[in-house]
Copies of this chain bind each other. A is one copy, B any other.
Amino acid sequence: MINSDAVIYDVVGIGNAIVDVLAKVGDGFLSERNLPKSEMILLEAKDAGKIYTDIVPEREVSGGSAANTVAGLASLGAATAFIGKVHDDELGQEFSRDIGAAGIDFFTPPLIQGPSTGRSIVLVTPDAERSMFTYLGASEKLSEEDIDENIIKAGKIIYLEGYLWDKDDAKKAMVKACELAHKHNRKVAFSLSDKSVIKRHREEFLKLVKEEVDILFGNEEEIKVLFEEEDFYKTLEMLKPDVEIAAITRNAQGSAIVNGRTITFVEAEKVENVVDTTGAGDLFAAGFLYGIINGRSLGTCAIIGSIAAAEVISHYGARPEVSLRGFVRKKLLEYGKRP
């Protein structure tokens, strides 16, 4: 469908195609069931079903980490494409509609048999933290054939999520995407995604970060797990030789951006009422990459990321509910920055 040498996309995202099932739960819900907090746990369909019977689903909204990021980028005005696998079922059609409505090119053919579209039960506690229990479903069937060389070479930046590393086929697809990106001199951005994913694949992630990744996203906890190092400032120094840019978020403490011989600490955008932190990291990445695409300084990239994250944590769900383009411009003007 795409066949030219032109760069058409600012960012091509590759990730799990997931629909989020949101539910508010009390503080005891997780501990009573021995469920870990603030992480992403993979479940088989039947185990997901068990949690599902205990909750009152609030809303179903399209999610998936990289998909959220490209949705944020699209809302900011960037040209984007998404590669990910749904089943041609009701949820899959909903996911595809949302992606299309956001103006994101999405050409990956859906499954017509096999597992149903992936879903994630997102339990939001009163402190706005989210704990995710995910049935990958069709997502894990993403394969090398789905990585279209023409789409990869049409993107300036290829953005991958660490969550994909859990399944062999999807992992192979990621490796192919990295190879093609570098073959065509494109940048590879990678999100560490989650502590438990890193624990499962630490050595492979270290190698990936060192050899393939140009722009790394993660949070303070993730980077500590990756390097098995408790001193945050030491992890930042450790990142310097490995990646061109690392953007590490720290919730209300803002972010730290590592680039060559510089480390920049950027304050977080203040949010009066944090409702649901789902998507905070995804939208930070969206704003940050939007800054990169537009040649902004790394400090301003992080400020844009922080503004985008602030929007998404002020409501339920991990996709923006306003046009981020105007939202970010207005804030930048308030800060005396070029919009």
Contacts and interface: CB of A to CB of B under 8 A. Distances in A.
Contacts of A261: 254, 266-267, 299, 303, 335
Interface in A256-283: 259-267
Q: Determine chain A's interface SS by DSSP, over half rule.
A: mixed
Contact of A262 (B260, B302, B336): B302
Contacts of A264: 262-265, 299
Q: How large is the interface on A (under 10, 10 to 19, 20 to 34, 35 or more residues)?
A: 10 to 19
B262 A263 contact: no
Interface in A236-268: 254, 259-267
Interface in A315-339: 335-337
Interface string A172-210: 000000000000000000000000000000000000000
A297 interface: yes
A299 B259 contact: yes
Given A297-B298, A298-B299, A299-B298, A265 B266 contact: no
A260 B334 CA distance: 12
Nearest to A303: B261
A201 to B, nearest CB: 30
A262 B265 contact: yes
A40 to B, nearest CB: 30
Contact of A297 (B267, B297, B302, B335): B297
A254 B260 CA distance: 13
A337 B262 CA distance: 13
A261 to B, nearest CB: 4
A302 B297 CA distance: 14
Nearest 6 CB-CB pairs, A to B? A262-B299, A261-B267, A264-B264, A297-B297, A262-B266, A263-B265
Given A260-B335, A297-B299, 15 more contacts: A254-B261, A260-B299, A260-B337, A261-B266, A261-B299, A262-B264, A262-B265, A262-B266, A262-B267, A262-B302, A262-B303, A263-B265, A264-B299, A265-B265, A297-B298
